[in-house]
Amino acid sequence: MKLLLTSGGITNDSIREELVGLLGKPIEESDALFIPTAQWGQPACSPQSVWRSTAARWPGEQAFVGLDWKSVGVLELTALASIGEERWVPWVKDADVLLVDGGEAVYLAHWMRESGLAALLPELAETVWVGVSAGSMVMTPRIGPEFVDRDPDGTDETLGVVDFSIFPHLDYPGWTSNTTEAAHRWAAKIGHPAYAIDEQTAISVVDGEVRVISEGAWEHFPDLGGASDGA
């Protein structure tokens, strides 16, 4: 699977160019499935927010679901066990890209396992995974207790598809918990390499090669307590 892990979606030309390269064809010729599941586990989300994301009615959603895809469908992971793999697995395998929304990453990881999607990932070698916020963080080993919103006393472990963690929404206006200083405190405790990324940054992972695509600000924390600046 090819990963494009973002904080805010396809927000600039550099990230869009990377997406097209991963797809191997224009966006207009690519079929997408949108996964909103993480929102159900996030206390700040609601049926209205899920609809806005699905219908690309949030400001900025044109940079995600609202791109000019050939087609967009909705894949709700909590429903998959009730309909059988013979139905949903072909849908996933036929998609060029999975658009995975933000919300609560631990909840999303749970439903990826329960639905069977996590087990299917190794078979999706040519599929592109585009994550936003929790949709990106779910691929990491853990997210840190700072980002566990549904069960603060529960685990912060996620899927571990990649070997680094992600601190999203770096220095997002008005978000006092997502400052550069907060990212440094988080990274000092995460226990393995990590990145802090803003809305204009993405991390591309193909065959184990990690590349940062950015027109904004980001930081790489190569190991416990260490950090190096990026731009």
Q: How many CA atoms lie within 13 A of 46 on its CB side?
A: 3
Span 17-25, average pLDDT: 98
Rounded CA gap, 69 and 131, in Å?
A: 16
CA distance 11 to 215: 9
The token pair at 107 is: 């909840």
Separation in Å, CA 79 to CA 112, 116, 124: 11, 11, 20
Structural domain boundaries, residue 96:
2-230
The domain that holds 22 is classified in CATH as 3.40.50.880
- In this predicted structure, the answer to whether residue 225 has a pLDDT above a threshold of 60 is no
Instruction: Give me the number of domains the chain comprises.
Output: 1
Residue 62: what pLDDT?
A: 59
The pLDDT tens digits for 116-161 are 999 999 999 999 999 999 999 999 999 999 999 888 888 999 999 9
pLDDT in tens, 43-53: 898 999 999 88
- Write out pLDDT tens, residues 75-113: 999 999 999 999 999 999 999 999 999 999 999 999 999
Alpha helices in 55-197 (DSSP H): 77-83, 85-94, 105-115, 117-120, 134-137, 180-190
Mean of the per-residue pLDDT values of the chain = 93
Give the residue from 62, 35, 66, 60 showing the smallest Cα distance to 50.
35
